Structure 1
Amino acid sequence: MKASFIVLVSLLVTSAAVYFGSFLLPDSYEVRRTIVVSAKPEQVFPYLNNPTKWEEWNAWNKDYDPTMIRLYGGPITGKGAHQEWIGDRVGMVKVHFTESTPPNQLYYKQLTKGEAFETIGIFSLEPTEGGTRVIWQQRTQVVDDPFNKYKGFFNKLKTEQETEQGLLLLKTIFDPVEEEGSTSRIAKEKGRS
């Protein structure tokens, strides 16, 4: 009897901590990563501005999900172009380019079926000595309830990994072989929450 009472109290305290802990989590999150590639912005931008080129560098690819199918619509490049991924692991994701300013910026919206989240993404390209600094920002609004706030927290961690992997794959297009012992140059910049 005493043991079951202790278990019950422990469950109530844990549940209350989880519930009230959700109020400390933000209702949005931002992921921002940068990498420098050995190419001019005019050479890099077409890989971002054309949805059919995303499969060459995006972390969500056939290696990640062999069942993945990509669909495209709208113009080939720039504002209005859109793509959709469908697969067993990736689910259904739609990306719509909302603004394009070659060769410097691309804005997009991303929606995942079954999720209450909408992501606004921005690619910014800055010329730098020896190449281009590619800055990838993603800001996601989270539904303001405990379940979705925790889900948003874990989605942020996943998005950070996918963003880093995508930028590294983009870098290999322009810098196919790095010197032995070199480290990746992805800069982790703390996003606003």
Structure 2
Amino acid sequence: MALSLGKRRMLNVVLILLVGLVFLIVALAVAVAFQPNEFQVTRSMKMDAPPEVVFPHVNQFSAWEAWSPYEKLDPNMSKSLDGPAAGQGAIMRWSGNGNAGAGSTTIVQSEPNEAIQIDLEITEPMACRNDVLFTFQPEGNSTVVTWSMSGKVGFMAKFFHLIFDIDKMCGDQFTEGLTKLKEISEKQAAAATS
């Protein structure tokens, strides 16, 4: 039984759409596959305060509430602190809304007034593990604080990175946090010298 001309045209249109959809999916998969396997986001800011003033605000998770941009993602976020109050072994676990997600941060290395290495494990909304590093470089009576985060990127994360500019998104948050840390540290340093 032969198909009518109208039905053949409809079948051709559907076939063209299906081939186009398959081509689009393959092209997207190839684009995702060629994304880098690792990422790094870094921001720095000079603060008119010595390292010994700035460092404790980062080395103690209970102090993060005053400056971290992630603290305001969910005002009702639940947090717990484990291990020592500051430095190596200090752990903060959190669980919040879809913006804050859930996970933990652990200070794995703390070199007083020089560097803090943190293991960041996010369990929600998308599981990942990243390395976070804060460095405190003295410049006269000031400190250049550098906040960086790096990690490996799986296929789904590569897709996410293809759509969203992670460097800008995280970098803007780092800049916001560093700005607040600068305000707090400079105020503290000015009060100590007056």
TM-score class, shorter-chain normalisation, is 0.7 to 0.9
Distance 1:104 1:72, change over 3 A: same
* Amino acid in the other structure paired with 1:105: A
Percent of matched pairs sharing the same residue: 27
Which structure's CA Rg is the greater one?
A: 2
User: Counterpart of 2:102?
Assistant: 92
Which of 108, 111, 134 is matched with 2:118 structurally? 108
Secondary structure of 1:113's partner? strand
Q: How does 1:133-172 map to 2 (within 5 A)?
A: 133-143=144-154, 145=155, 147-153=156-162, 154=164, 156-157=166-167, 158-172=169-183
Secondary structure of 2:64's partner? helix
Q: 1:161, 1:64 → 2: CA distance?
A: 14
User: Counterpart of 2:139?
Assistant: 128
Which of 6, 15, 26 is matched with 1:5 structurally? 15
Which of 64, 80, 104 is matched with 1:71 structurally? 80
Which of 53, 56, 63 is matched with 1:46 structurally? 56
User: Counterpart of 2:34?
Assistant: 24
Range moving further from structure 2, 149-158 or 105-114? 149-158
Q: 1:16, 1:112 → 2: CA distance?
A: 30
Q: TM-score, normalised by structure 2?
A: 0.82
List alignment gaps of at least 5 residues for structure 1: 177-193
For residues 131-178 of structure 1, give each alpha carbon's deviation from its aligned partner in whole angstroms, at most 9, with x where no partner exists: 1100111111122x3x232124537243222212211221221346xx
User: Counterpart of 1:190?
Assistant: none
The structure with the greater share of residues assigned to helix is 2
**Offset of 1:130 from its aligned partner?**
4.6
Q: 1:150, 1:129 → 2: CA distance?
A: 44
**Contact 2:53–2:185 (Cα < 8 Å) also in 1:** no
Distance 1:65 1:155, change over 3 A: farther
Secondary structure of 2:132's partner? strand
List alignment gaps of at least 5 residues for structure 2: 1-9, 188-194
For residues 38-59 of structure 1, give each alpha carbon's deviation from its aligned partner in whole angstroms, at most 9, with x where no partner exists: 1000000000100101111111
**Does 1:173 pair with 2:184?**
yes
Point out which structure has higher relative CO (alpha carbons under 8 A, 6+ apart). 1
User: Counterpart of 1:82?
Assistant: 91
* Amino acid in the other structure paired with 2:172: Q
* Amino acid in the other structure paired with 1:18: L
* Amino acid in the other structure paired with 1:163: F
**Offset of 1:72 from its aligned partner?**
0.4
